[in-house]
Amino acid sequence: MLDQRRANLEINEKFYVQLVNEAFWNKYPNQQKRQLGTGSEDAKLREEWDKLAFELLTRIELLNLSRTARRGLGSYGTADLTRWKQQVNQVRLSSRAAYDIADSKFFHKFPDQRGEKFIDKSIGQVWQGIVGDTIKALTSGKSLQRIEFAAGGVQQVNGTLEPGDGKAFTAKLSSGQFMEVRLATDVNALFSVYGPSRKTTPLLEDSTEREWSGELPASGFYEFVVVSQASQPINYRLNFRVED
């Protein structure tokens, strides 16, 4: 039954077995690289392996990855990340903003990976699959909105985020302008505000703070990212004020 679920999702079998093995070995380090036997002496361990396999497959199912992302699990590499960065840069958004949204979705289903070095492990393939889908959502405009300021420099945007989801906004602003941005939303949301250059320190990054104001240090596209870590859908409202 478990293998049929995996096959229905079109997830590579070799990748899936390695993913479960790594989780199993992490829980039982003394079983590292050991092949479980079919006898009664390994019955409890085989039961634990199956339990982890079921749990991991369920988490992946709940991510609602695209078919393309699921079929790519086990084959992603640095070339894919480079290509995705180039794609998102074409819509005036940085990879760090895209990663904020991908991280939110990943850690919502895999909170045990927060703070871990997972990128070179099998579970890192799941993160890369999420990144691929995130880039598509951003470049299509589904998860990205451009903010235009009319006379007076005041703007408001609002919406709803599902658990683990996020949305990015960009605005073309000038050095020396004064900006004030305020976010009203659930307590389990994180807020980032990035300047137009990666060389500049983020104004806010994965922050629980809800506002930022000050003179802008550079000209270009500023990025605003809201992500949800709540267990239920949440509403958000962003208020902007920009003055010359």
User: What pLDDT, in 10s, does the model give residues 39-60?
Assistant: 787 788 888 999 999 999 999 9
User: Span 208-228, mean pLDDT?
Assistant: 96
Taking 80 as the threshold, does the pLDDT of residue 152 lie above it? no
Taking 80 as the threshold, does the pLDDT of residue 132 lie above it? yes
Residues contacting 169, CB < 8 A, separation 6+: 144, 145, 146, 147, 157, 223, 224, 225, 238
Taking 70 as the threshold, does the pLDDT of residue 226 lie above it? yes
Does 144-243 carry CATH code 1.10.12.10?
no
| DSSP state letter for 21 | H
**In this predicted structure, what is the pLDDT of residue 39?**
78
Q: What angle do CA 194, 196, 200 make, to 5 degrees?
A: 70
Per the prediction, the chain carries an average pLDDT of 94
- Taking residue 93's Cβ as centre, other Cβ atoms within 10 Å add up to 23
Residue 56 tokens read as 């991991």
Nearest to 136 by CA among 72, 224, 191: 72
Residue 227 and residue 134 in contact, taking contact as beta carbons nearer than 8 Å? no
Taking 70 as the threshold, does the pLDDT of residue 91 lie above it? yes
| DSSP state letter for 130 | H
Please give the model's pTM, rounded to 2 decimal places.
0.93
User: What pLDDT, in 10s, does the model give residues 57-90?
Assistant: 999 999 999 999 999 999 999 999 999 999 999 9
Taking 80 as the threshold, does the pLDDT of residue 121 lie above it? yes
pLDDT confidence bin for 237, thresholds 50/70/90: very high
The domain limits of the chain are: 1-62, 144-243
**Residue 136 is inside which H or E element, if any?**
helix 122-139
Strand order in the sheet with 178-185: 154-161, 234-243, 178-185, 211-215
**In this predicted structure, what is the pLDDT of residue 151?**
63
Strand order in the sheet with 204-207: 144-146, 166-173, 220-228, 189-194, 204-207
**In this predicted structure, what is the pLDDT of residue 28?**
86
Nearest to 238 by CA among 163, 169, 172, 142: 169
User: What pLDDT, in 10s, does the model give residues 190-200?
Assistant: 999 999 987 77
